[in-house]
Amino acid sequence: MLKLYDYVLSGSAYKARLMMAILGAPYEAVPVDFYPGNEHRQPDFLDLNPAGTLPVLVDGDLVLTDSAAILTYLAGKHDPPGTWLPAGDPARLAQVVQWLAFSQSLTATAGAARLHDMINRPLDVEAARAGAHRAFRELERHLTAQAFDGNAFLVADQPTIADIACFPYVALSPDGGIAHDDYPAIRGWLDAVKRLPGFIEMPGIHALHEVRETEPGVVAMAAEAG
Ligand SMILES: N[C@@H](CCC(=O)N[C@@H](CS)C(=O)NCC(=O)O)C(=O)O
């Protein structure tokens, strides 16, 4: 059974949880007290991941300590031959890898600003927010071009692990003072990810809801996904 070292408020750990939910992969969660416990900086955890970061995925003897590696493994293992990881198409695969690299810049900017605002992590938060907006402008340009071609996701015409890698820190960015107002294509893409079958929430990221009239005058909220 897969084992995920997890923290409920971690956007990086959520990437793994979301991918496993979408792929229907069963796993055991091992909660790590990131805050306030700092358990990820204690010797036992550092033995597992010397970088002291979450998430970590363990499958037998295999220990993966990076979310991009984890997504790659999950898609390869649970979705062969694979639309989530288009291994048979070199151009698509390379584009996926490019967006996986881009996702790290989201963690370093939007993710860092969120840590600053949520747990007072010392940081030049204005520089982090400016970096996030630079990344968001690049993402917005790309998603606008994709939408023009009728594509809702980052690479070609299918959702891939690139979408899962980039989604959390964009969706969570208002927690770090980075609004989505100027990014309509990004907002459309966030909704497209939320519509994926198997989508799950985390604190700060809510499923889409549609407002329905169940009987005249009675309005009910129904979850579209999750
Ligand atoms: N490259 C890593 C980075 C993950 C990352 O930054 N995780 C955060 C939690 S969301 C963390 O553990 N940071 C350690 C710390 O801030 O002390 C990955 O994507 O897996």
Distance from residue 158's CA to the centre of ligand 1 (Å):
27
Reading the block at residue 155, the tokens are: 């690479």
Distance from residue 60's CA to the centre of ligand 1 (Å):
22
Mean pLDDT computed over 30-43: 96
- pLDDT value of residue 224: 55
pLDDT at 226 over 50: no
Alpha-carbon torsion, ordered 141, 146, 149, 155, to 10 deg:
150
- pLDDT value of residue 222: 63
- In contact, 61 and 34? CB cutoff 8 Å: no
- pLDDT value of residue 225: 47
In a domain, 222, yes or no: no
Q: Which domain holds residue 184?
A: 90-194
Residue-by-residue DSSP string for 66-122: SHHHHHHHHHHHHSSS-SSS-TT-HHHHHHHHHHHHHHHHHIIIIIHHHHHHHH---
Q: What is the CATH number of the domain that holds 17?
A: 3.40.30.10
- Mind listing the pLDDT tens digit for each residue in 156-207? 999 999 999 999 999 999 999 999 999 999 999 999 999 999 999 999 999 9
Reading the block at residue 61, the tokens are: 């003897």
Residues 42 and 123 reside in one and the same domain: no
> Among 11, 20, 19, 101, which residue's Cα sits nearest to residue 53?
11
Residue appearing with tokens 């996701």? 153
In a domain, 180, yes or no: yes
Residue-by-residue DSSP string for 156-222: TTB--HHHHHHHHHHHTGGGGT--STT-HHHHHHHHHHHTSTT---BTTB---EEEEEEETTEEEEE
DSSP class of residue 155 equals B
- Mind listing the pLDDT tens digit for each residue in 8-28? 999 999 999 999 999 999 999
In a domain, 220, yes or no: no
Q: Which of 17, 65, 72, 107 to mutate to test the pocket of ligand 1 (most atoms within 8 A of CB)?
A: 107
- Mind listing the pLDDT tens digit for each residue in 45-74? 999 999 999 999 999 999 999 999 999 999
- pLDDT value of residue 107: 98
Q: Establish whether residue 40 lines the binding site of ligand 1, counting it when its CB lies within 6 angstroms of any ligand atom.
A: yes
Closest ligand 1 atom to Cα of 67: 20
In a domain, 68, yes or no: yes
Residues 189 and 125 reside in one and the same domain: yes
Strand pairing report for 56-59 and 27-31 = unpaired
Q: Which of 44, 78, 112 is the last residue of a domain?
A: 78
Alpha-carbon torsion, ordered 67, 70, 71, 76, to 10 deg:
160
Q: Which of 54, 71, 73, 100 to mutate to test the pocket of ligand 1 (most atoms within 8 A of CB)?
A: 54
Secondary structure of residue 65 in the 3-state scheme: coil
- Mind listing the pLDDT tens digit for each residue in 125-142? 999 999 999 999 999 999
Residues 144 and 99 reside in one and the same domain: yes
- Looking at the structure of the chain, the number of domains it has is 2
- Mind listing the pLDDT tens digit for each residue in 195-218? 999 999 999 999 998 766 777 777
- pLDDT value of residue 60: 97
- pLDDT value of residue 221: 66
Half-sphere exposure of residue 40: CA atoms within 13 angstroms, side-chain side: 20
Q: What is the CATH number of the domain that holds 143?
A: 1.20.1050.10
Residue type, 203: P
pLDDT > 70 in the chain, percent = 95
In a domain, 209, yes or no: no
In a domain, 201, yes or no: no
- Mind listing the pLDDT tens digit for each residue in 77-130? 998 778 999 999 999 999 999 999 999 999 999 999 999 999 999 999 999 999
Q: Which of 10, 12, 56 to mutate to test the pocket of ligand 1 (most atoms within 8 A of CB)?
A: 12
Crossing angle of the two packed helices 90-106 and 67-78, in degrees rounded to 10: 140
CA 140, 15, 42, 46 dihedral sign is negative
In a domain, 105, yes or no: yes
- pLDDT value of residue 209: 82
- In contact, 209 and 221? CB cutoff 8 Å: yes
In a domain, 156, yes or no: yes
Q: Which of 78, 103, 125 is the last residue of a domain?
A: 78
- In contact, 61 and 18? CB cutoff 8 Å: no
pTM assigned to the model: 0.94
